[in-house]
């Protein structure tokens, strides 16, 4: 007989895989939350059976073997399915143990309390605890109910729903409506009256058109060359008549709305106008959009075939591209992707577009945007070895992209990375600015090295070998600067130690006080000097040492007590009023040695008197 847990795992695995292949991803709302609940119920059964690591994703191949022929979308989405299941189970396991521990403690408490009362009423878990498990540890209510059902315990669902409602109210208080629902109704009404806008933008950048509607912030035409924001590409800007258009968007599934660029419109319904797309920004967005296709293909080649696009924002000056990956890319990987894309740009591959049936396009190997819904007929864009379903605008040849440069790569969500990149003139401008920054940095290094050379001479050191003024290797320049800093530090220390022969103690009763102020010195300098001084027989007995170091606005102080005086004197107690006198706080150390600091250089002599009084 098959174990019930295995049946539950099989059912929930099958449902999860079909949902993911259909473009659903786990989230905290809508169908994404339904998927998460299904996945976590299956994962909990695996945990019950003793699985101590992510395991559900390992069963995907068995499902594809059984059902992949009838449902080829499972095979196409295999990489995304396995990656999503693995990531989600690893994330769930991080909180599962903690959540189960809380739940087990509550079960023990409820059971003990219920048995003591000997009541006939059902044992019940507090709704607030169930909500905490949901909100903090990712336990859907039905998962908590499943676990409790095995122990004959119910959940106070009324209290749970109350907590959920309070959370919704908190969310509502932080949300302001945008009015988009009302706007959508206007566009559906216009679509019903006039039909969809005819798009001519693949063939031309200008056309005569008739005005169908003029709203407060935009205009609708019967036909347009303006591409509407879609598939991650921002809509076209340009001019309609004498009116500047800032962007074009599509509403109600096919009504193109051209937004005014902050100006009054004297156009009227029924007017015939010339609609002209801004050819410069169209070309820039086309170059960027084509680059996303080449980069998508390059990412798959460098990072693995499980990479899939999760979103994009293609504008004129730059574009962003979101993809699934569970770590930051290395500098080497980024360089490889850049090199591969630029290689394809230089190959001067023609960009071809074809209209074909969806099933034929997919069987030909065309890449579909993950989670996107397509019509029966689709537009297939190919360039080199990149073939994707896409309705956006593109260059005619990859050479028109010019150059490709990744600007940044970062995490935007768990398991999702974002690349920002530039192409063509925008990339050249960016590289020129970066080169200028680099040259300024190199000049600053050379200037600092020259200043350090002068400082070495002033401290009595030998003249350093001049570095080649044409040297541009930043690592080498940084090493040269560090070498000089180290030499300066050593010279300062040598000079400080040279002056130690002039140090004289002051007799205070039977105790010797050695106090001195070192200019242009730091805390670590006087600490080293004390260590050296205490080895000198002249200062190794019956001595209290107080050294002050002054640099800029900072004063450092250390107090040392020789071994033979430590029964009578404690350095930490001696230094406390000294630190207070020079405007500092705290300080610390041990009985034989203590340090601290302040800001009042003019009070050092007064601080020495304070120490004398203590002695």
Residue 372 inside a domain? The answer is: no
pLDDT tens, residue by residue, 319-365: 999 998 888 999 999 999 999 999 999 999 999 999 988 888 877 77
Residue 371 has pLDDT above 70, yes or no: no
Kindly state the average pLDDT of the residues 217-238. Answer: 94
* pLDDT on residue 179: 43
Pairing of the two strands 255-260 and 272-277: unpaired
**Higher-pLDDT residue of 70, 420:** 420
42 and 147 both lie in a single domain: yes
- The neighbour count for residue 450, using CB atoms within 10 Å, is 15
**Higher-pLDDT residue of 601, 25:** 601
Determine the Cα–Cα distance for residues 615 and 596; give it in Å rounded to an integer: 19
Determine the Cα–Cα distance for residues 81 and 21; give it in Å rounded to an integer: 7
* pLDDT on residue 283: 96
Cα–Cα distance list, 88 to 1, 20, 81, 95, 272 (Å): 30, 12, 11, 11, 55
507 and 492 both lie in a single domain: no
Closest by Cα among 190, 201, 209 to 228: 201
Kindly state the average pLDDT of the residues 588-611. Answer: 90
573 and 509 both lie in a single domain: yes
Kindly state the average pLDDT of the residues 423-449. Answer: 92
* Listed range (358-362, 474-478, 550-554) with the worst mean pLDDT: 358-362
Place of tokens 């609708």: 220
Residue 385 inside a domain? The answer is: no
pLDDT tens, residue by residue, 8-20: 999 999 999 999 8
Q: Tell me the sheet residues that pair with 378.
A: 356
Domain count, the chain: 4
Residue 64 has pLDDT above 70, yes or no: yes
Determine the Cα–Cα distance for residues 603 and 585; give it in Å rounded to an integer: 15
Closest by Cα among 84, 103, 85 to 147: 103
Residues with Cβ within 8 Å of 60's Cβ and at least 6 positions away in sequence, in order, are: 13, 17, 78, 81, 82, 85
Residues with Cβ within 8 Å of 387's Cβ and at least 6 positions away in sequence, in order, are: 364, 365, 366, 367, 380, 381
Kindly state the average pLDDT of the residues 216-220. Answer: 91
Residue 192 has pLDDT above 80, yes or no: yes
Residues with Cβ within 8 Å of 100's Cβ and at least 6 positions away in sequence, in order, are: 147
* pLDDT on residue 32: 82
* pLDDT on residue 426: 95
231 and 159 both lie in a single domain: no
**Higher-pLDDT residue of 115, 174:** 115
* pLDDT on residue 119: 56
Determine the Cα–Cα distance for residues 173 and 46; give it in Å rounded to an integer: 40
Average model confidence (pLDDT) across the chain: 87
Residue 535 inside a domain? The answer is: yes
189 and 161 both lie in a single domain: no
Residue 409 inside a domain? The answer is: no
Cα dihedral 107/110/114/119 (nearest 10):
-100
The residue among 497, 522, 553 that closes a domain is 497
Residue 187 inside a domain? The answer is: yes
Kindly state the average pLDDT of the residues 69-80. Answer: 85
* pLDDT on residue 107: 85
* pLDDT on residue 408: 96
Please tell me the number of Cα atoms within 13 Å of 17 on its side-chain side.
29
Determine the Cα–Cα distance for residues 219 and 168; give it in Å rounded to an integer: 37
CATH number of the CATH domain containing 554: 3.10.310.40
* pLDDT on residue 432: 93
* Listed range (91-105, 269-283, 296-310, 478-492) with the worst mean pLDDT: 91-105
The residue among 497, 514, 543 that closes a domain is 497
Kindly state the average pLDDT of the residues 545-554. Answer: 90
pLDDT tens, residue by residue, 451-468: 888 888 888 888 777 677
78 and 212 both lie in a single domain: no
514 and 599 both lie in a single domain: yes
**Six-digit token string for 122:** 């059902």
* pLDDT above 90 as % of the chain: 41
206 and 142 both lie in a single domain: no
Kindly state the average pLDDT of the residues 383-396. Answer: 93
The residue among 224, 245, 277 that closes a domain is 277
Kindly state the average pLDDT of the residues 473-497. Answer: 85
Kindly state the average pLDDT of the residues 509-521. Answer: 88
CATH number of the CATH domain containing 266: 2.40.30.130
123 and 220 both lie in a single domain: no
pLDDT tens, residue by residue, 292-323: 999 999 999 999 887 888 889 999 999 999 99
pLDDT confidence band for 370 (50 / 70 / 90): low
Give the range of the structural domain holding residue 471, as residue numbers without chain letter.
430-497
100 and 163 both lie in a single domain: yes
Residue 416 inside a domain? The answer is: no
28 and 150 both lie in a single domain: yes
Residue 336 inside a domain? The answer is: no
Calculate ∠ Cα 92-21-306, nearest 5°.
75
459 and 557 both lie in a single domain: no
User: How large is the C-alpha radius of gyration of the chain?
Assistant: 37
Residue 314 inside a domain? The answer is: no
């Amino acid at each position: 007989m098959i174990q019930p847990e295995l049946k539950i795992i099989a059912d929930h695995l099958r449902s999860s895989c079909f949902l993911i292949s259909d473009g659903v991803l786990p989230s905290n709302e809508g169908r994404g939350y339904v998927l998460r609940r299904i996945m976590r119920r299956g994962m909990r059964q695996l945990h019950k059976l003793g699985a101590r690591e992510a395991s559900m994703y390992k069963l995907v191949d068995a499902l594809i073997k059984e059902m992949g022929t009838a449902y080829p979308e499972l095979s196409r989405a295999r990489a995304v399915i396995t990656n999503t299941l693995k990531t989600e189970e690893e994330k769930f396991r991080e909180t599962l143990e903690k959540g189960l521990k809380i739940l087990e403690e509550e079960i023990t408490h409820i059971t003990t309390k219920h048995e003591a009362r000997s009541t006939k009423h059902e044992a019940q878990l507090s709704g607030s605890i169930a909500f905490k498990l949901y909100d903090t540890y990712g336990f859907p209510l039905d998962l908590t109910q499943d676990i409790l059902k095995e122990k004959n315990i119910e959940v106070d669902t009324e209290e749970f729903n109350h907590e959920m409602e309070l959370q919704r109210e908190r969310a509502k208080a932080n949300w302001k409506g945008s009015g988009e629902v009302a706007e959508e109704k206007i566009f559906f009404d216009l679509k019903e009256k006039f039909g969809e806008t005819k798009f001519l933008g693949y063939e031309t950048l200008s056309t005569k058109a008739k005005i169908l509607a003029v709203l407060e912030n935009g205009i609708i035409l019967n036909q347009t060359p303006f591409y509407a924001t879609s598939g991650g590409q921002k809509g076209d800007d340009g001019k309609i008549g004498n009116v500047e258009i800032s962007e074009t968007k599509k509403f109600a599934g096919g009504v193109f709305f051209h937004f005014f660029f902050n100006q009054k419109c004297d156009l009227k319904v029924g007017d015939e106008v010339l609609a002209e797309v801004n050819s410069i920004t169209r070309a820039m967005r086309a170059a960027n959009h084509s680059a996303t296709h080449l980069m998508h293909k390059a990412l798959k080649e460098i990072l693995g075939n499980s990479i899939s696009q999760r979103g994009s924002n293609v504008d004129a000056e730059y574009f962003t591209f979101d993809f699934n990956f569970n770590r930051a890319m290395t500098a080497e990987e980024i360089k490889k992707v850049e090199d591969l894309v630029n290689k394809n740009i230089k190959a001067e591959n023609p960009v071809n577009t074809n209209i074909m049936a969806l099933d034929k396009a997919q069987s030909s190997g065309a890449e579909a945007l993950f989670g996107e819904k397509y019509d029966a007929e689709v537009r297939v864009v190919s360039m080199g070895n990149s073939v994707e379903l896409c309705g956006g605008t593109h260059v005619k040849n990859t050479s028109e992209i010019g150059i490709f440069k990744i600007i940044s790569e970062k995490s935007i969500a768990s398991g999702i990375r974002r690349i920002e990149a530039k192409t063509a003139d925008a990339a050249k401008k960016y590289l020129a600015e970066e080169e200028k920054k680099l040259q300024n940095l190199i000049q600053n290094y050379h200037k600092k090295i020259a200043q350090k050379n002068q400082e070495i001479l002033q401290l009595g050191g030998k003249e350093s070998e001049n570095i080649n003024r044409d040297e541009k290797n930043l690592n080498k320049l940084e090493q040269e600067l560090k070498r000089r800093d180290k030499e300066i530090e050593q010279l300062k220390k040598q000079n400080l130690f040279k002056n130690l022969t002039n140090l004289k103690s002051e007799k205070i009763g039977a105790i010797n006080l050695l106090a001195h102020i070192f200019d242009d010195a730091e805390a670590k300098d006087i600490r080293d000097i004390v260590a050296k001084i205490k080895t000198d027989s002249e200062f190794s007995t019956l001595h209290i040492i107080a050294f002050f170091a002054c640099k800029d606005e900072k004063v450092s102080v250390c107090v040392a007590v020789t071994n033979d005086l430590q029964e009578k004197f404690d350095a930490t107690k001696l230094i406390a009023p000294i630190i207070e006198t020079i405007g500092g706080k705290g300080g610390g150390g041990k009985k034989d040695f203590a340090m601290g600091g302040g800001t009042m250089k003019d009070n050092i002599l007064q601080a020495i008197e304070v120490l004398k009084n203590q002695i």
